[in-house]
Amino acid sequence: MVSPDVGIAKTVQPTQIWPGAVVTYTITYSNAGTAPATGVVITDIVPAEIISPSVLAAGAQITDTGALPPYVWQVADLAPSAGGTIVITGMLDANAVVGSVVTNTAEIAAASDWDPADRTSSVVFTIVDQPIVGLAAINDSPTMLGSSTQFTAAVVAGTNVSFTWAYGDGDTGAGATSAHTYAAPGSYTAIVTATNSTNSIAITTPVTILAADVGIAKRVSNPLPPPEAAITYTLVYSNAGNTTAANVRITDTLPVEVTDVVVYVSGSTVIIDNNPEYILDVGSLAPGAGGTIVITAKLRPGLAVGDIFTNTATIGTATVEAGPRPNTSSAVVAVGDAPI
């Protein structure tokens, strides 16, 4: 049988597309019959979600009829095996709804066609979020203990992005900007995860929380001296924190039961404020640094055997502290019997 047989096939790329991206439809048409096809018309109503479409045609001559909505083309007569391609390129509307499925159908018709099976061709694409790329995160640490650490995350590309944080201490947060106060000094690794309906990526950002931790320990050379004997107090102090302790001061109020006091200091300046109170201004104490103070004295005459007195030293700093280290330490002396 001598008859025309026009057909059409349509493809779309990509099949998943995000608002603002470019979509390309390709229409291929031909006459597979044994006679010329006349009165050929191709209709392709471009979806409303596609804005600023442009058309590039090859093969048979086509003429846009100007019908709205576009497109309707009149095609020159197609000899057997003749045909062509039409490429439609446009941008997906920035307001297109993520999750929607968009269908587009192209149709070809001729004055006569013995096989209608291939006269239409449909394609679909799904509107998705733009994939997340270029995730970056920063924080404003090092931060002093007790102060809030500020976190910021951003992406180079991606739509409808949500951010979740794992701060590295068991607590979590959310948002492109977030703040967290750590309960202890140290080094932490915060993880931020950026997620949308298309993909999810994560990166880390290191966090440092600073605090001083000054401590002092005091001991006496002989906790049971006889009357009027010499005794020696030794004070050992240090900073076990991870930042410099500023304005470190040690105060030691000596008991009235001792006299002839001499102070030997390593690593600090002694300021005798008001005997028997000794104030030792250490100044700044770096992490791991410390010193020793030795105080020699004699028991005052007139103390009775069995008399007990306590001496306490205190250390302090203007820098935020952490940790259980004692800031005070005491030594107890009981007057003993004189040796025989």
Q: Report domain extents, the chain.
A: 6-127, 136-210, 214-334
Question: Which amino acid makes up residue 20?
Answer: G
Fold: same for 6-127 and 214-334: yes
Question: 121: which strand partners?
Answer: 106
Contact between 74 and 41 (Cβ < 8 Å) = yes
Say whether pLDDT at 273 is over 60: no
Task: Give the pLDDT mean for 319-328.
Answer: 87
Say whether pLDDT at 113 is over 80: no
**Residues 217-232 pLDDT 10s:** 999 999 999 999 999 9
> What pLDDT shows up at residue 269?
62
Question: 251: which strand partners?
Answer: 279, 314
Dihedral angle computed from the Cα positions of residues 105, 109, 114 and 120, in that order, rounded to the nearest 10 degrees: 0
| Contact residues for 331 (Cβ-Cβ < 8 A; gap 6+) | 218, 219, 220, 223, 233, 310, 311
Mean pLDDT of the chain: 94
- Which range has the worst mean pLDDT, 180-184, 239-243, 266-270? 266-270
Q: Which fold has domain 214-334?
A: Immunoglobulin-like (2.60.40)
Domain 136-210 class in CATH: mainly beta
- Tokens 């030795």 belong to which residue? 294
**Residues 74-86 pLDDT 10s:** 999 999 999 999 9
**Residues 41-66 pLDDT 10s:** 999 999 999 999 999 999 999 999 99
Q: Which CATH number fits domain 6-127: 3.10.110.10, 2.60.40.740, 3.20.20.60, 3.40.190.10?
A: 2.60.40.740
> What pLDDT shows up at residue 265?
86
| Band of pLDDT at residue 279, cut at 50, 70 and 90 | confident
Instruction: For the chain, give the percent of residues with pLDDT over 70.
Output: 96
Instruction: For the chain, give the percent of residues with pLDDT over 90.
Output: 86
